[in-house]
Amino acid sequence: MSKYDSVTGMTDMTGMNNMTFPASQIAQIINGKIEGDAGIAVSSFGKIEEAQPGQLSFLANPKYEEYLYTTRASVIIINESFQLKQPVSATLIRVADAYTAFATLLTTYQEIMEQQLSGIQQPSYVAKTASYGNNVFIGAFAYLGENVKVGNNSKIFPNAYIGDGVTIGDNSIIHPGVKIYHDCKIGNKVTIHAGTVIGSDGFGFAPQADGSFKKVPQIGNVVIEDNVEIGANSTIDRATIGSTLIKGGAKLDNLIQVAHNVEIGNSTVIAAQTGVSGSTRIGNGVMIGGQAGIVGHIQVGDGARINAQSGVSKSVEPGKAVTGSPAYDYTARRLPELEKRVKELETLIKQLMGEKV
């Protein structure tokens, strides 16, 4: 039996693989305009060059335009400004931004999939002092320690470890094998992917006179604000004192190391294999390429750009773009180089023309 959801406008069929929704309902979700059969239904997604009947696809990149006229997809999302060069067989849904609309639809689909998960699987361990909200899912072999709090609609997948005193907000997803150490705070609509460790000890050791190192206890925590996503097998260390802070809307890729007492600003994105050393402050809206290395105790200003494989050894001013190792501001450095080259060319031309230099 199917159940119509008046909020999403989709038909939720029993079973994950039996969901179907007509073009008219898709258009409602993404605020699109239909050209073609509004009643045609799709049950899955496909790339435009490979899609089959019963699948939905989208066209956002002009490089794939040729497939618009040959695809077998039943429904295609395209930009409202796109001009057809020949007829298409699929039903079209025109929107302001096809890529964003497709992302919205995938998000809605994913949320419906996740809503089907609820309850506590066994075997799992939930401490007597732990509490959780409505429509929560706790997978098999998960561990929830003392005084853990989990908000409404959050999902904790199998083999996750949630330490004592951890709080997790509403609509968050903790994927398999995630480890969240004691007293860390996870906000609403946070996604943490498989194998990531939140709140392990920061790398703090005091050198001794005999050449050995004495461990400095790490008694702080990690705070992850709302709408953050953290990729698989990343590590975010707890603060020595205070909090390591990941602010709202930040997106971290797989295999990222964030050291103790780091602060990462709102809507900052960091690509895979980047390492951020202790007590560094990264501003809002920063973009950091893969395999970048950032030393400790520096500032990276709002809107800065750090190219892949850059070694950042000093603070970066807001809005600057740096590259290389050690990293330099390539937007500023390139102008003197171009000026020098122009002067050399002018001198060469004068010599060839027999003019006095």
Which residue type does 52 have? Q
The Cα–Cα gap between 56 and 75 comes to 5
Q: Whose structure tokens read 């330099």?
A: 328
DSSP of 291-342, one letter per residue? T-EE-SS-EE-TT-EE-TT-EE-S-B-TT-EEETTTTEEHHHHHHHHHHHHH
297 part of the active site = no
Residue 30 burial class via C-beta count within 10 angstroms: exposed 0-12, middle 13-18, buried 19 and up: buried
The Cα–Cα gap between 51 and 64 comes to 13
Q: What are phi and psi of 79, to 5 degrees?
A: -70, 145
The Cα–Cα gap between 235 and 156 comes to 18
Q: How many CB atoms lie within 10 A of CB 72?
A: 16
Sign of the torsion angle spanned by Cα atoms 85, 86, 87, 91: negative
Q: How many CB atoms lie within 10 A of CB 44?
A: 13
Indicate which residue of 175, 182, 193, 260 is catalytic: 260
The Cα–Cα gap between 148 and 164 comes to 6
Q: Yes or no: say if 236 and 218 are a contact pair by the CB < 8 Å rule.
A: no
**Residues known to be catalytic:** 260
